[in-house]
Chains A and B, each alone.
Chain A
Amino acid sequence: MSDAGFRLLSAGDTALTVELGEAVDPRINARVLSLDRALAAEAPPGIVETVPTYRSLQIHFDPERLDIEAFAARIGMLVASLDDEPPPGRTWTVPVVYGGEHGIDLEATAGRIDLSTDELIALHLAGDYRVYMIGFQPGFAYLGGLDPRLHLPRRETPRLKTPAGTISIGGIQAAVASIEAPSGWHLLGRTPVRAFDPARADPFLFRVGDRIRFERISADDYTSLARRVADEGWRPACEAA
């Protein structure tokens, strides 16, 4: 696929996906966000909502109000002049307790790639991650920047329940989970940080384009930080762009 290439994918009679690439790449992601901004500015009738992801924009529409052929043509024109410069983001330091009950897949995952658990944790900590999208659950941050040595297929069958704050990897992605949810990823650890809190003035902690660094903490630190989150609404440090 060329840099300016795109594919329109059917997602039923109420949604379509504009795919702008097939990689986790800051420039492709920037083009997705650029297309999203362009559509928001034009506000064509019949568009219900848009969902920017790593390398595509999903567009939910009202099929009785959107002329799909004219819209597809318009997408083609917009795609020709997208901005591929990633937006500046804030940098968060997110505390993580690895392994044990907080990261039940740590040992098995390390074993699969012939690393010790400490070596795996060091690789995970060394990453300079970028929030490519918020999705799957409220405030859940999908991260790019995972060391290629940690790229692993997802589990064949997803787990039906994984805890809030789970730090996981799947495929070439890493993530900070916000709430309890099913997951097919490998669970390395857990953070007390709440990426989604509907009672907070800003319910969603992370934004697309933000950077995240992980910081290793002990199980005891986790317990005390979790209490501060619950009692005082503690949030991690964040540096402006």
Chain B
Amino acid sequence: MSVLRCVDPGPLATVQDRGRIGWQRFGVSVAGAMDPVGLALANLLVGNPPDAAAVEVTLSGGVWEVEADSARLAFAGADIASSIDGRPAASHRAHTLKRGQRLTIGALVGSARGYLSVAGGFRLVPVLGSISTHLRSKIGGADGGPLRSGQELPLVRDTAPSDADLAFDASLLPSPPPRYRAIPGPQDDAFTREGIETLFAAVYTVTTEADRMGMRLAGPKIAHAGGYNIISDGIAPGSIQVPGAGLPIVLFADRQTTGGYPKIATVVSADLGFLARCRPGDQIRFERTDLAGAARLRKDLADRLARLAASLFPARLPAALDSATLLAHNLVDGVTDGLAPP
């Protein structure tokens, strides 16, 4: 059986696709990729559908070994200094690895999370229609848990596609917004006017209590108009809930389906994946928008991703070569072989 072996998962690695859609009425969290743009880019590079399952890594990308005749891998969503069998590997492109070769991803730069895709995807059994891992429910992925050292992920393909590895123009990558746009509601009436102004004026710091479920922020307290208990209702992605202590918590992919703290505003869908890139210590601000504003942001992001997809080209050697780059490319099958030094 062809597998991708997890040699070292880094701090947290889970299998994620677009999420488990349609089961929130039974209390089942959606889960799925925290940064759908990163997931889409990693899949784009290996020719998968944009929301196919990939490995989501956190803070550091770990070490992965191919146990197949060959496999095409790509990493996206964060900057990295990766290597293949110890030799530097170029970013923003796919790499075809042979049996026994190891991809070491290293520390992530510019995002807390990144995505490792494999052409053809993983041969895993969906739970309630998705192979996304939901850690708290212990469902999805290979066994419902985070990936562990030595664990094997079965692959659909035994060999990499025969065409060239693809790369994209990194200058086209969308950049995070200066402020995260949010629409007031559904319980903005549970806060004072000053409380809402605080949310949109203050600088908040991402705390260490930030995971796939929620991100606790530190900063100015937000005043409730009355109590801080509501009758539990549904929670949308990007909901900013404010418990009694007055500090906001942004809710992400692994969020509970319902909850009883008032939700002052909701981060718009186009910005939520960028917010998920933040790590403890990062400072963030929110900005008020509305449905029309959110639609413009969605369109801008979709246009950028379309341009990136259109920029895909067969990976070639950069104009200026150092020996390490040459060696890295030399390990890769296909188009670059002919350029290897004698």
Q: Interface centre among B139, B229, B237, B267, by most A CB within 10 Å?
A: B229
Which A residues have a C-beta under 8 Å from some C-beta of B? Answer: 9-17, 19, 22-24, 48-58, 60, 63-64, 68, 133-140, 142, 153-158, 160, 170-173, 178-182, 184, 196, 198, 203-204
Q: Once the chains bind, are B22 and A13 in contact (CB under 8 Å)?
A: no
The B236-292 residues at the A interface (CB cut-off 8 A) are 236-239, 243-245, 256-261, 263, 266-269, 291
Q: Interface centre among A13, A48, A136, by most B CB within 10 Å?
A: A13
Q: Once the chains bind, are A12 and B267 in contact (CB under 8 Å)?
A: yes
Range of interface residues on chain B?
Answer: 35 or more
Contacts of A181 in B (CB 8 A): 136, 256
Q: Once the chains bind, are A198 and B139 in contact (CB under 8 Å)?
A: yes
Q: Once the chains bind, are B136 and A13 in contact (CB under 8 Å)?
A: no
CA A215 – CA B27 in complex, angstroms?
25
CA A23 – CA B232 in complex, angstroms?
11
Q: Once the chains bind, are B232 and A13 in contact (CB under 8 Å)?
A: no
Which B residues have a C-beta under 8 Å from some C-beta of A? Answer: 21-29, 127-128, 136-139, 182-187, 209, 213, 227-229, 231-239, 243-245, 256-261, 263, 266-269, 291, 294-295, 298
Q: Once the chains bind, are B25 and A51 in contact (CB under 8 Å)?
A: yes
Q: Once the chains bind, are A153 and B243 in contact (CB under 8 Å)?
A: no
Q: Once the chains bind, are B26 and A142 in contact (CB under 8 Å)?
A: no
Q: Once the chains bind, are A55 and B233 in contact (CB under 8 Å)?
A: yes
Contacts of B295 in A (CB 8 A): 13, 63
Q: Once the chains bind, are A13 and B269 in contact (CB under 8 Å)?
A: yes
CA A38 – CA B63 in complex, angstroms?
51
Q: Once the chains bind, are B260 and A15 in contact (CB under 8 Å)?
A: no
Contacts of B27 in A (CB 8 A): 134-140, 178, 196, 204
Q: Once the chains bind, are A24 and B26 in contact (CB under 8 Å)?
A: no
CA A171 – CA B28 in complex, angstroms?
23
Q: Once the chains bind, are A51 and B234 in contact (CB under 8 Å)?
A: yes
Given the known inter-chain contacts A9-B185, A10-B184, please indicate yes or no for A135 contacting B256, CB distance below 8 A.
Answer: yes
How far does the Cβ of A48 sit from chain B's closest Cβ, in whole Å? 6
Given the known inter-chain contacts A135-B232, A171-B231, A173-B260, please indicate yes or no for A13 contacting B291, CB distance below 8 A.
Answer: yes
CA A126 – CA B258 in complex, angstroms?
27
Contacts of A139 in B (CB 8 A): 26-27
Q: Once the chains bind, are A157 and B243 in contact (CB under 8 Å)?
A: yes
CA A15 – CA B235 in complex, angstroms?
9
**Other-chain residue from A10, A16, A135 in contact with B257 (beta carbon distance below 8 A):** A135
